């Protein structure tokens, strides 16, 4: 992994998203006709899959996201679509679990990878090479391609290419204005006890991916929490730590958490309120964009 190349990967997000939108206009890469869906993956792949499964369940599809490393995966069935997700196509755990299934669709960024060779079908992330060695564009493109699957299975009416272009505009806005917000954000989050990330269940992947970026690049302690659950599991840390957090808003329980934050003098940056960006009032744009804030902070710290 290389911090300068990681930053270059982030700066290429708008261009890659525009290319992905153009590809989606040419056609949806998924086949339909399934009543149930099982997503298998690790790390960033599983984060994206967890949100995708939750979205599908809310629309009446029986969908589940599982650790590829689980000892007893869901049994195969004719009505079950198995989607194995690996950006590099070489995740050992995800390759191992394929032995349980005959009909698998691989979602990967590498068409020549082992997972692509082992799958019945392949859907490409179309994120381009991540020369920095960190899954950033591939995470974003995984979310988009899983939205395309959602559209195929449910007949959803949203214009997905238009959404992806809005996400490209949002990323461009954050990148172009970074000199205005990034130094202060780095200062606010730079505490002795790490960084905590908070997001609603519908966008929990934003908190999980953001925390991973702090761990993977600058090697700082970081952990993610769901907004409502925060008052049951992470609130205790505000009493004893110099608590620094990023809040991705949208939960009905944001204010419940913020009451504790204010009482205990903790530091929380709200992305989409304290730090605004173009189209941040659209939850789907936020899902595809907001991790860029943590990624740019991580890239800055990594370069220090």
Enumerate the domain spans of the chain.
3-164, 177-303
Q: Do the domains at 3-164 and 177-303 have one common CATH topology? A: yes
What's the CA gap between 26 and 161, in Å, rounded? 10
Q: What residues contact residue 99 under an 8 Å CB cut-off, 6+ apart?
A: none
Write down the pLDDT at residue 51. Answer: 98
At 294, list the tokens: 């943590």
What's the CA gap between 62 and 301, in Å, rounded? 41
Question: Is the domain covering 177-303 a CATH 3.40.50.970 domain?
Answer: no
What's the CA gap between 220 and 130, in Å, rounded? 22
Q: Are 134 and 8 in contact (CB under 8 A)?
A: no
**What pLDDT digit, counting tens, does each position of 34-92 carry?**
989 999 999 999 999 999 999 999 999 999 999 999 999 899 999 999 999 999 999 99
Q: For the beta carbon of residue 278, count every other beta carbon within 10 angstroms.
A: 19
> What residue has token string 């290419």?
161
**What pLDDT digit, counting tens, does each position of 101-140 carry?**
999 999 999 999 999 999 999 999 999 999 999 999 999 9
157 pLDDT more than 90: no
156 pLDDT more than 90: no
Write down the pLDDT at residue 234. Answer: 97
The order of strands in the sheet holding 222-226 is 222-226, 195-199, 244-247, 267-270
What's the CA gap between 18 and 20, in Å, rounded? 5
Bridge partner list, 65: 39
Phi, psi of 275 (to 5 degrees): -115, 105
> What residue has token string 């009451």?
259
* SS (HEC) of the chain: CCHHHHHHHHHCHHHHHHHHHHHHHHCCCCCCCCCEEEEEECCHHHHHHHHHHHHHHHCCCEEEEEECCCCCCCCCCCCEEEEEEECCCCCHHHHHHHHHCCCEEEEECCCCCHHHHHCCEEEECCCCCCCCCCCCHHHHHHHHHHHHHHHHHHCCCCCHHHHHHHHHHHHHHHHHCHHHHHHHHHHHHCCCCCEEEEECHHHHHHHHHHHHHHHHCCCCCEEEEEHHHHHHHCCCHHHHCCCEEEECCCCCCHHHHHHHHHHHCCEEEEECCCECCCCCCCHHHHHHHCHHHHHHHHHHHHHC
> What residue has token string 């949806």?
28
Mean residue pLDDT across the chain: 96
What's the CA gap between 259 and 9, in Å, rounded? 37
Write down the pLDDT at residue 94. Answer: 97
Per-residue pLDDT averaged across 230-257, rounded? 97
- Domain 3-164, CATH homologous superfamily name and number: Glucose-6-phosphate isomerase like protein; domain 1 (3.40.50.10490)
251 pLDDT more than 90: yes
Phi, psi of 249 (to 5 degrees): -75, 170
**What pLDDT digit, counting tens, does each position of 177-222 carry?**
999 999 999 999 999 999 999 999 999 999 999 999 999 999 999 9
Per-residue pLDDT averaged across 147-160, rounded? 92
Using pLDDT thresholds of 50, 70 and 90, give the confidence band for residue 158: confident
Q: Are 6 and 138 in contact (CB under 8 A)?
A: no
At 252, list the tokens: 């009905």
Half-sphere exposure of 104 (CA within 13 A, CB side): 26
1 pLDDT more than 80: no
């Amino acid at each position: 992994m290389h911090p300068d190349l990681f930053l270059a990967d982030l700066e290429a997000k708008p261009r890659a998203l525009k290319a992905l939108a153009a590809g989606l206009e040419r056609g949806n890469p998924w086949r339909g006709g399934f009543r149930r869906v099982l997503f298998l993956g690790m790390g960033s792949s599983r984060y994206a899959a967890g949100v995708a499964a939750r979205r599908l369940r809310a629309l009446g599809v029986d969908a589940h996201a599982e650790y590829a490393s689980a000892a007893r995966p869901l049994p195969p069935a004719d009505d079950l679509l198995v989607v194995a997700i690996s950006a590099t196509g070489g995740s050992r755990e995800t390759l191992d679990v394929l032995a349980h299934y005959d009909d698998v669709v691989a979602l990967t960024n590498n068409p020549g990878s082992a997972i692509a060779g082992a799958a019945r079908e392949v859907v490409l992330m179309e994120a381009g090479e991540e020369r920095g060695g960190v899954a950033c564009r591939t995470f974003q493109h995984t979310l988009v391609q899983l939205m395309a699957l959602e559209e195929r299975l449910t007949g959803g009416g949203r214009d997905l290419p238009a959404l992806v272009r809005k996400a490209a505009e949002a990323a461009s806005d954050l990148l172009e204005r970074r000199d205005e917000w990034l130094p202060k954000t780095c200062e606010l989050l730079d505490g002795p006890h790490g960084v905590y990330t908070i997001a609603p269940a519908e966008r929990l992947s934003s908190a999980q991916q953001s925390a991973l970026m702090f761990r993977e690049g600058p090697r700082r302690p970081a952990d993610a929490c769901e907004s409502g659950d925060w008052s049951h599991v992470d609130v205790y840390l505000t009493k004893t730590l110099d608590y620094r957090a990023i809040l991705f808003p949208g939960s009905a329980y944001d204010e419940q958490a913020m009451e504790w934050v204010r009482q205990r003098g903790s530091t929380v940056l709200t992305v989409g309120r304290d730090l605004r960006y173009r189209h941040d009032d659209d939850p789907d744009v936020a899902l595809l964009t907001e991790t860029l804030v943590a990624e740019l902070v991580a890239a800055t710290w990594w370069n220090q």
